[in-house]
Structures are given as C-alpha cells and as structure tokens.
Amino acid sequence: MDRAGIDKIAWKVMHDQVPVQGDPPGLADSRRPSNFQELGDLMQQNDDFELSWSEFLHEFLRYKQVSFFAVPPPKVFSPGMRSMLAGAAEFMCTEFGLPIPEWVNEPEFTMPEPFEPYGWMYTGESEDDHQRRIAKAHPIFLKHNVVFASRNLITV
C-alpha cells in the first residue's frame, strides 16, 4: 500500500472516532491543551513544540469541537507558526464539518513569503525539492503561504 492509501485509512480512523461529550478539561486539569492559548502555555512550560502540538491534536480529536480554535494563536509563536496554526484550524474545521473561525482570515495569519515550518530540515536542498513540497502542501495552508501537507496532522 502506498502513502496515500495509508493516509486515507488514518483519516478514516480519525473521522470514525466518536467524540467525547462535554467540554474538554483543559491544560490545568488534563495536561492537554484545549485551545491555542493553552498550546502556547504548554509549549512555554516544556519548550517542546512537537510534544505540545501532539497533545493538542490528540485532545482535539477526542472532542472535535470548534472551541479548540476559538482564540487565535498567541504571539508566543512566530508569525510563521501562527500562520501554520491558522491553516491547521481552518483545515481541521473544514475536515470535521465545524464552523471556521473568522480570525483565520486576518492578514496577520498569512505570511508575506512562503514559510516552511520544518524548513530547517531542508537546508541545501534544490529548488526542485522545494517545488515538490509545495505541490504536496494542502491548498488551505498555501492560502496562508505556508508549505505544509495535511498528512502532518494525522494523529492516531
């Protein structure tokens, strides 16, 4: 099976997961962030974006509520990461049939130049490699001028 087939199965699993009813407990009670402000707070506590982001995605998938995206990402994140998080909010709301928050359309959540959240990994690569990553990026992220593939949101 190719990568696209595996991704399709993973998205199906994520969609099939029945959401927990009620409000998410939040960072103070569960150690998992339930909105972007708490994501920023957790990242500042542990200085590890990948871990904090993983906890956020897992919690979102448990509840699948628009409240996770009610507030924009705080300025503790760089402009590029704030744009990536805006794209993630818009993508996940679209993917799971939730209303898209208005703030994602504010200009501050679109980079003036293409931004790759993991660009540091590609130092020294050719323009062709960069173009291939752009081709794999989801249009919602490209709208924010962020080179990011939706497969990076898969969490099971």
pLDDT for the residue numbered 133? 83
Token pair of 17 as six digits: 């997961």
Mean of the per-residue pLDDT values of the chain: 92
Q: What is the pTM of this model?
A: 0.92
- Other C-beta atoms lying within 10 Å of the C-beta of residue 104: 22
pLDDT for the residue numbered 74? 97
Token pair of 98 as six digits: 């939730």
Distances from the Cα of 152 to the Cαs of 14, 22, 80, in angstroms?
A: 13, 27, 16
Domain boundaries of the chain, sorted by first residue: 3-153
pLDDT for the residue numbered 127? 75
pLDDT for the residue numbered 46? 87
Using an 8 Å Cβ cutoff, are 26 and 59 in contact?
no
List, for residues 53-83, the tens digit of each pLDDT value.
999 999 999 999 999 999 999 999 999 999 9
What is the pLDDT averaged over residues 134-154?
93
- Evaluate if residue 120 carries a pLDDT over 60: no
Distance CA 1, CA 102 (A): 39
Give the CA dihedral 72, 74, 78, 82, nearest 10 degrees.
Answer: -10
pLDDT for the residue numbered 70? 96
pLDDT for the residue numbered 130? 75
List, for residues 86-97, the tens digit of each pLDDT value.
999 999 999 999
